[in-house]
Structure 1
């Protein structure tokens, strides 16, 4: 029987089918750019899209932006402003939205999907649904077993068969993992019940399923100091652990041995992101509002005062000015936020220039970082007296304390110990950075090619190298392929 099938080129497909493929959501902004350059079909005027669009690809990019979760929540004026900031180019708007979405979650690289997170003296990384850890294993935070005190190279953490890790968060002394199934595992110091296992207050040396969240699928987790925040797929927030400052959001200071839902946030609306500081929490609603609660010290709650908040309270500075926040980062003594137009805001203590405003003066409420207003920021990362801002071109800006070289400016260390205004981390300029995470005194980034680079303190092998002590220049951290990863890549 003869073969009646033959290869069909894009040029032979009907325009409406080509448009359907382009708008499927399977292509990135860069994919669309490449397609536009490879075939005249994508730029042909065939009556299928309005005249105001430059090409079929341009129209497809607009359609993808219009249906994007962030863009669709923006008011018309903000949408127009973003379009103008992107030079009237819908493909760049799409690139910004996709980069924004990935940088705080799982990033797509040429070596697979990846995510990194840094703790006090350790680092965890996800690659292709497997998770690896290195550094100091204080109280079992590496998830490698009770016999492990330190890992000098990224070592895979064992999970039950078929378990695929989708998100990870690390604090000083515990870690939490979200599976693709929505299940949550935790490990580390559980003396404050921050791991969510009320049957024991002993350290948990290997990831253990949080039984009380069975049947409540989660999408994100954030580990604070002795407490944990869980964000469900439905946009609800659960907390457990220490509650000395009301950081669990339940209107009291009573510790919780297992995750409990924050009812107040449930009545406010869908939560899309949470960030845990040492003793406080920032939460972002689908509509772009920010609610903070917990310790008011250092003005990290953004309300202009230092009172503890036992219930979630809206940061009015954002609401009054119509600012649609999409991502927040909760540092030790300061905080940062990113809005839907790529603008950055910082507040809290200004030690060492951590707020980036050219001085060390505290900001009691969020203030626009004006020196970066001409850039489209896609990620902010605040930690111990330092801040990083990733922009859509893949460049990284850093400011604040340069202790142990964790800010990435080896030449400036001879002249000063702090950077007061955003400055390009030139040691990363040859790389397109897709995600950044910084710990106490070390920093790790992932590039779009799947490289993991680290710099700063390596005294406890938190940068995945045995012989180095301090890395002033970004140094590659290697993950060896496991057999299961090889299988995943072939599927």
Structure 2
């Protein structure tokens, strides 16, 4: 009955849309939604007509593509769906005939098709044709079948399948001793069910007490939660559980590190505990945070809030339930890894939190695909990007930094992540380098200071050192140049005698030896330029010969083999500068051309995908004055101030207004007068001739410096790409 009414409503909606002539003002809002489900980096919606639309990371979209989407895309092969469930990186749809279709990650068997492969289009779950409800955990899935019994499949090493065995299954297995189930919900690695009598039973992982049985230790069979006897709803989160009890009150138990129990503190509890001040709850969803809908037609959330997913209009942990800004009468709410979404009574969907993979469906990813201005900087003379942070040198030698500050890599003495520049502790820096989670400054007297994470010795001091203010690196007294890489955990300097010294991570030989503190690289002399990748380092000597050492698995030495070397390998000749990415290397050649080698999964700039064991000419760039390499993209600055980038573009790091990969260089929009260039993990920045800075790409930690992070703190409506119109949108 429910299925036919949904179909009828959907046909009426479609008829109205067709009659309108499909002429609408932008944006095109998602309409006619009955239910929404959120995974780690994707979201899906079920329409009244039984269609399923998804948005976010490509592997979870179900449309067969390899491109992330910040707009909803229709799964063409799904019709007459009556329920959906989103796991960590997989999704399942229950059809009106009782069968189930799943897609996405399948490495743990969570798709239920008998295999362990990723499926980018829906596949049928084996042996189920009588399902009436579904739920999905991180890597497992469960369904209610005939007579209220439950079957589960996928990861089972923590007992989350409930069949009495601590092992996984790629086909459905029966949950032991369980019948008469009314409701069902799966957490990260545990599952809970509500019986028709209001009792609650949970099984699976219990290391935080999330099963509610008063003890720790996983259970491979359902265990009754004795203190809950009248449940009307259940939500299993990452490591906690909440239930709606009589009169719409809420009880929670398990992990409380981020306040996800809503008790006003962060103390965990193994016993179900009543939340103060909550009544009238009508539905519930839990992940690392918890959200409810209420009889007062509101959404209230609490818990982890790193990306604004608790809807409090800030990013501080929400220890108690907070009302999300009003956006309409909520019908259901869904919590994902770093975001939340709600379907409202008029059929629209609103989302808030992380937009890193486009999972908010607003048409935007977590950052900017075109160059944006760094706020408050108009006198910069240099800049450098680390993994997820950026720094600029101002006239006079002071420096400012912005972005990720988890390990003190901004050098300002410690603060939260910053989306606008802030001055770091003053040193007389003439240049500096930034690695994955650390920064180093070269001082005018030849000394070097470093700050940030030092777990692998990348600060030039004993491992496990960490500092939010610069500390002098011992043994460096005459440095004239310094280099690291956005993915690197090591640092190198060029000394006045043209010798090279390195320190930090050295397990792949990137220091020139297997391990060590500050060491000199043997066999490297007359050095003119340095470049550091994740686990390899390269130098250009006076004759323009590039020599690399460290990891060579992807051919990042450019010498025709994939053998790593703790010594020195000879690469290309005729170079004037070199840059290293995660597993690729590029060199600026005498005359202004660019050659690249190594991993080319995002396109090595040659127009052909795949790795190159020898240097290959990059097409479409000339008169290049500088190059910069991110993890899997590269940018080149030409003498006329234009910047072009190539490689992976899924975070907007190519700057051309698109999020697709590019196998040949594409022009960065909004930059016409650049004089310097840098590349971070998934972002890039250019210094302009007037002293201002523009950045593009990933902005999750504020590394674009434009005052914004890669998340939305208040609910935003899910939209549809203006280039495509079909039923379900207006």
Q: TM-score if structure 2 supplies the norm length?
A: 0.47
Matches within 5 A, 1:249-328: 249-266=162-179, 270-318=180-228, 323-328=229-234
Provide Cα deviations, 1:15-58, integer angstroms capped at 9, x if missing partner: xxxxxxxxxxx99xxxxxxxxxxxxxxxxxxxxxxxxxxxxxxx
SS in 1 for 2:227: helix
Partner of 1:473: 714
* Contact persistence 2:312–2:322 (CA under 8 A): no
Partner of 2:76: 158
Q: Is 2:123 the partner of 1:205?
A: no
* Contact persistence 2:353–2:712 (CA under 8 A): yes
Q: Which runs of 5+ in 1 are unaligned?
A: 1-25, 28-109, 487-491
Q: Is 2:67 the partner of 1:149?
A: yes
Partner of 1:245: 158
Partner of 1:91: none
398 and 179 in structure 1: CA distance in 2 versus 1, 3 angstrom threshold: same
Partner of 1:439: 336
Post-superposition offset of 1:352: 2.3
SS in 2 for 1:336: strand
Partner of 1:423: 322
Aligned residues: 356
* Contact persistence 2:248–2:282 (CA under 8 A): yes
Post-superposition offset of 1:248: 0.9
How far apart, in 2, do the equivalents of 1:361 and 1:249 lie? 28
Partner of 2:98: 182
How far apart, in 2, do the equivalents of 1:357 and 1:457 lie? 25
How far apart, in 2, do the equivalents of 1:396 and 1:465 lie? 20
How far apart, in 1, do the equivalents of 2:169 and 2:715 lie? 40
Post-superposition offset of 1:255: 2.1
Partner of 1:98: none
Partner of 2:250: 344
How far apart, in 1, do the equivalents of 2:348 and 2:157 lie? 40
112 and 462 in structure 1: CA distance in 2 versus 1, 3 angstrom threshold: closer
How far apart, in 2, do the equivalents of 1:483 and 1:396 lie? 29
Post-superposition offset of 1:112: 4.0
Post-superposition offset of 1:297: 1.0
* Residue of 130, 148, 154 corresponding to 1:217: 130
418 and 343 in structure 1: CA distance in 2 versus 1, 3 angstrom threshold: same
How far apart, in 2, do the equivalents of 1:468 and 1:228 lie? 28
**More strand, by proportion:** 2
Partner of 2:43: 123
Provide Cα deviations, 1:97-125, integer angstroms capped at 9, x if missing partner: xxxxxxxxxxxxx9545100000111000
Q: Is 2:309 the partner of 1:406?
A: yes
Partner of 1:457: 354
* Residue of 269, 276, 287 corresponding to 1:383: 287
How far apart, in 1, do the equivalents of 2:725 and 2:99 lie? 23
Partner of 1:3: none
182 and 456 in structure 1: CA distance in 2 versus 1, 3 angstrom threshold: same
SS in 2 for 1:234: helix
How far apart, in 2, do the equivalents of 1:193 and 1:398 lie? 32
230 and 399 in structure 1: CA distance in 2 versus 1, 3 angstrom threshold: same
How far apart, in 2, do the equivalents of 1:391 and 1:143 lie? 32
Provide Cα deviations, 1:203-230, integer angstroms capped at 9, x if missing partner: 11111122321xx311111111221111
Provide Cα deviations, 1:305-344, integer angstroms capped at 9, x if missing partner: 11111211111112xxxx3112110100211100242111
How far apart, in 2, do the equivalents of 1:282 and 1:127 lie? 26
Post-superposition offset of 1:483: 5.4
How far apart, in 1, do the equivalents of 2:197 and 2:283 lie? 19
Select the structure of larger CA radius of gyration: 2
The list of structure 1 runs, each at least 4 consecutive aligned residues, that deviate by more than 6 angstroms after superposition, is none
Partner of 1:353: 259
Post-superposition offset of 1:389: 2.0
SS in 2 for 1:345: strand
* Contact persistence 2:70–2:362 (CA under 8 A): yes
Provide Cα deviations, 1:154-195, integer angstroms capped at 9, x if missing partner: 0100126xx301111111121111011111001112222111
Provide Cα deviations, 1:133-152, integer angstroms capped at 9, x if missing partner: 000023xx21010x323112
Pairwise CA RMSD of aligned residues? 2.3
Partner of 1:67: none
Provide Cα deviations, 1:381-437, integer angstroms capped at 9, x if missing partner: 2211x2112111211222222211111122x44xxx122222222x22x52222111
Provide Cα deviations, 1:58-84, integer angstroms capped at 9, x if missing partner: xxxxxxxxxxxxxxxxxxxxxxxxxxx
How far apart, in 2, do the equivalents of 1:466 and 1:193 lie? 32
* Contact persistence 2:162–2:174 (CA under 8 A): no
Post-superposition offset of 1:484: 6.2
Post-superposition offset of 1:482: 6.5
Matches within 5 A, 1:43-54: none
Matches within 5 A, 1:88-103: none
* Contact persistence 2:37–2:85 (CA under 8 A): yes
**More helix, by proportion:** 1
How far apart, in 2, do the equivalents of 1:312 and 1:135 lie? 34
* Residue of 134, 142, 145 corresponding to 2:55: 134
SS in 2 for 1:126: strand
How far apart, in 2, do the equivalents of 1:113 and 1:170 lie? 16
How far apart, in 1, do the equivalents of 2:71 and 2:136 lie? 23
Post-superposition offset of 1:485: 6.0
424 and 382 in structure 1: CA distance in 2 versus 1, 3 angstrom threshold: same
How far apart, in 2, do the equivalents of 1:175 and 1:460 lie? 16
Partner of 2:404: none
* Contact persistence 2:126–2:172 (CA under 8 A): no
How far apart, in 1, do the equivalents of 2:354 and 2:138 lie? 21
Post-superposition offset of 1:471: 1.3
Post-superposition offset of 1:257: 2.2
Q: Which runs of 5+ in 2 are unaligned?
A: 6-29, 367-710
